[in-house]
Amino acid sequence: DSVGVYDFIIVGGGTAGLVIANRLSEDTDTSVAIIEAGDLVFNNKNVSDVDGYGLAFGTAIDWQYESVPQAYAGNKSQTMRAGKALGGTSTINGMAYLRAQAAQIDAWEHLGNDGWNWKSLLPYYKQSEHFQLPTAEQCLAGAAYDIGVHGTTGYLKTGWNNGLLGENVTSLINATYTSTGLPYIQEPNGGSMRGFTRYPATVDRELNVREDAGRAYYLPVQNRTNLHLYTNSFVQRMTWDGASKNSTPRVDGVQFTDASGKQKTISAKKEVILSAGALRSPLILELSGIGNSAILQQHGIDVKVDLPTVGENLQDQTTGAGAYSSNTSFSGTADYVGYFSVADIFGNDTCDFNSTVRGSILQYATSVVEASNGVLDQKVMEKLFMIHYDLIFKDQIPISEILVTPGQDRMDFSYWGLLPFSRGSIHIQSNDSTTPAAINPNYFQLDYDLKQQIGTAKTVRKLAGSDALCEVVTGELSPGLQSVPLNASDDVWAKAVKAGYRSNYHYISTAAMMAQDLGGVVDTNLSVYGVDNVRVVDASVIPFQVCGHLTATIYAIAERAADAIKQRYY
Ligand code: FDA
């Protein structure tokens, strides 16, 4: 039965979806519905606790999707976490607010995305942001910034947590990172990220709670009568406008199961915006008849738009850990990060590594094309990989991130490669929307990814063994000298890296914004190719990995998408 007619329906009240909902409903004559599978979590301590990272994992607000067994990493599957709540994954994430390197956003323009570059995205980063200046004490503890790149009137509060680890610890960690030749940088969010710094978080410092998308973008506008929120409501598919005389297919609504378990349909007069996340939006496209016709037909779905790359190009990163015992106990928030370039990680071996990778591009493209069953194109992948290669070796943008958390009698490092080449996919396995998808990130499919991760693991050991830390660090707990002796071969390191990794939870590109002949799914306005009135606005559209963490960039993309939508209708 029909329960509502709206101008816009937003599927997924998550990080991106709530930005769109807020901006589109600014106009009181425009009606907007948000359909969110999860519930309100404003009173959930696992969400609000600023030191509660990980508490929500495995609870009802974690979708905890499972990947297929990973063929290049011991055939183990991986848990792919994502938030199921108003606010989406921003309710369970690590709260880091870190954007991207300018050159990598500029590279989007070379993928057929005219007008998408760092310069044009920066105003949207700023528009989304309400930067809280650090207190005097936080400044002493190393919180630094360039106000020119921050916004102060946006919805999203950013800044440093109360209870930061203090000045002495910062000096120690700074000395540790800079001993490897990495410079200290004051501002990681201005487009130039290489260096060691103390990064800001998405936090409401006054209330001392996490700043998630619900709190930032929904709470302040929840009383708008033209904004309707359906919670605990699971969208199955979009419905098609059979009466449309338009030659391009149009959708006219969505089907979902409501909070009481009833089947509902609501209508969209203008558009449906999919913001269900990179591990959901492509599935909703497929279930609606937009995707690879071979896959759709296999599951008995009518093909409305044959768009074979829906669900392809899935990219994630892999996280590793290094743990050390310490004779000192630290308590307080650690927001210490180092961003390393290829030369920082590989030193004198950078030239050799460069030649090896350059010589492997054709093979990388071939492997990825084969893994896609020929959906991706050899020449296109060579082109994309050359852009990727140039970012790493010519622009020397950061390739590795290393975080350190000084804790109780220990010091923990976590690290990941920022720019893996491997590409996977996500597809439906049935026309029943509740059947889990086949999610295959193809971790370590290509040897750059493994070599990069090994190089970064070795750098972690170097940091832990630096002169700066020698009075504090007393031994290596993990990976441990037993399993990975000093001077261990790369084969030994490879085993340890593959045995101990997890998903970095930075899934992107499953409905990539690119020219259609490069395999794009959405155009520069984030409209799905071949459909009149469907957009995807979430991590799915990000075509290449970013060096920062994802939300900062997703908020900016969503602000920009809202402008694009307004331009068409307002
Ligand atoms: P998001 O997941 O936010 O929103 C999708 C929404 O759609 C969800 O609310 C979901 O419930 C809903 N939905 C899905 N299917 C639906 C359906 N069929 N019907 C209705 N609703 C549906 N980033 C960062 O910037 N800093 C960090 O520190 C971290 N750390 C981190 C840790 C962990 C554990 C994770 C999992 C992720 C991070 N990230 C991160 C990544 C970042 O949080 C993430 O990429 C974005 O929040 C994703 O935003 P989206 O808008 O793409 O989807």
d(CA 463, CA 5): 58
Q: Which atom of ligand 1 is nearest to the CA of 38?
A: 11
User: Atom of ligand 1 at shortest distance to CA of 85?
Assistant: 9
- Cβ count within 10 A of residue 4: 15
Residue length, the chain?
Answer: 570
Closest residue (by CA) to atom 39 of ligand 1?
A: 93
228-261 pLDDT, tens digit per residue, is: 999 999 999 999 999 888 889 999 999 999 999 9
Which atom of ligand 1 is nearest to 82's Cα? 36
Mean pLDDT of the 428-438 span:
98
Pocket test for ligand 1, best of 59, 403, 550, 554 (most atoms within 8 A of CB): 550
Cβ neighbours, 10 Å, residue 431: 15
Ligand 1 mean position, distance from CA 173 (Å):
31
Report the distance separating Cα 65 and Cα 82, nearest Å: 8
User: What is the mean predicted confidence (pLDDT) over 91-103?
Assistant: 98
b (16+ CB within 10 A) / e for 341-371: bbbbbbeeebeebbeebeebbeebbebbbeb
Confidence of residue 512 (pLDDT cuts 50, 70, 90): very high
Q: Average pLDDT, stretch 290-306? A: 98
Q: Ligand 1 center to residue 550 CA distance, Å? A: 9
- CA-CA distance, 405 to 466, in Å (whole number)? 16
Lowest mean pLDDT among 5-19, 122-136, 234-248, 378-392: 234-248
Amino acid occupying residue 351: C
Contacts of 349 (CB under 8 A, 6+ apart): none
Name all contacts of 362-368 with Cβ < 8 Å and 24+ positions apart: 364/421, 364/446, 364/448, 367/445, 367/446, 368/421, 368/422, 368/423, 368/445, 368/446
Checking if the pLDDT of 1 tops 60, the result is no
Which atom of ligand 1 is nearest the CA belonging to 539?
Answer: 52
Ligand 1 cavity residues, CB under 6 Å:
11-17, 35-38, 81-85, 88-90, 92-96, 234-235, 275-278, 280, 505-506, 538-539, 549-552, 554
Give the confidence band of 3 by pLDDT, cuts at 50, 70, 90.
Answer: low
Amino acid (one-letter) located at 112: G
The mean per-residue pLDDT over the stretch 217-229 comes to 98
Q: Please give the average per-residue pLDDT across 346-356, as a whole number.
A: 98
What does the pLDDT look like over 476-501, one tens digit per residue?
Answer: 999 999 999 999 999 999 999 999 99
- State yes or no: is 427 an active-site residue: no
Mean pLDDT value of segment 410-423: 98
In contact, 395 and 103? CB cutoff 8 Å: yes
Å from CA of 167 to ligand 1 middle: 33
Most informative mutation of 89, 279, 314 for ligand 1 (most atoms within 8 A of CB): 89
Residue nearest to atom 49 of ligand 1 (CA): 15
pLDDT in tens, 19-61: 999 999 999 999 999 999 999 999 999 999 999 999 999 999 9
Cα 61 to ligand 1 centre (Å)? 11
3-class DSSP state of 254 = strand
For residue 35, which atom of ligand 1 is closest to its CA? 20
How much is the pLDDT for 244?
84
Tokens of 377: 């194109």
239-264 in b/e burial notation, b at 16+ Cβ within 10 A? bbbeeeeeeebbbbbbbbbbeeeeeb
Q: What separation in Å is there between the alpha carbon of 82 and the centre of ligand 1?
A: 5
CA dist list (Å): 299 to 183, 279, 284, 292, 296: 54, 19, 14, 11, 5
Find the mean pLDDT for residues 428-455.
98
Q: Which pLDDT band, with edges at 50, 70 and 90, does 396 fall under? A: very high
Q: What is the mean pLDDT of residues 406-435?
A: 97
Q: Is the pLDDT of residue 2 over 60?
A: no
Over range 170-186, report the average pLDDT.
96
Concerning whether 388 is annotated as a catalytic residue, the answer is no
Identify the pLDDT of residue 239.
98
Per-residue pLDDT, averaged over 378-392, amounts to 98
Distance between Cα 570 and ligand 1 center (Å): 29
- Which residue lies with its CA nearest to atom 10 of ligand 1? 84
- Ligand 1, pocket-test mutation among 428, 510, 551, most atoms within 8 A of CB: 551
CA 37 to ligand 1 center in whole angstroms:
12
State the pLDDT at residue 517.
97
Q: Which residue among 40, 93, 229 is best mutated to probe the pocket of ligand 1, counting the most ligand atoms within 8 A of its Cβ? A: 93
The single residue of 110, 150, 427, 549 carrying the catalytic annotation is 549
Q: How far is the CA of 88 from the centre of ligand 1 (A)?
A: 5
Check residue 243 and give its pLDDT: 87
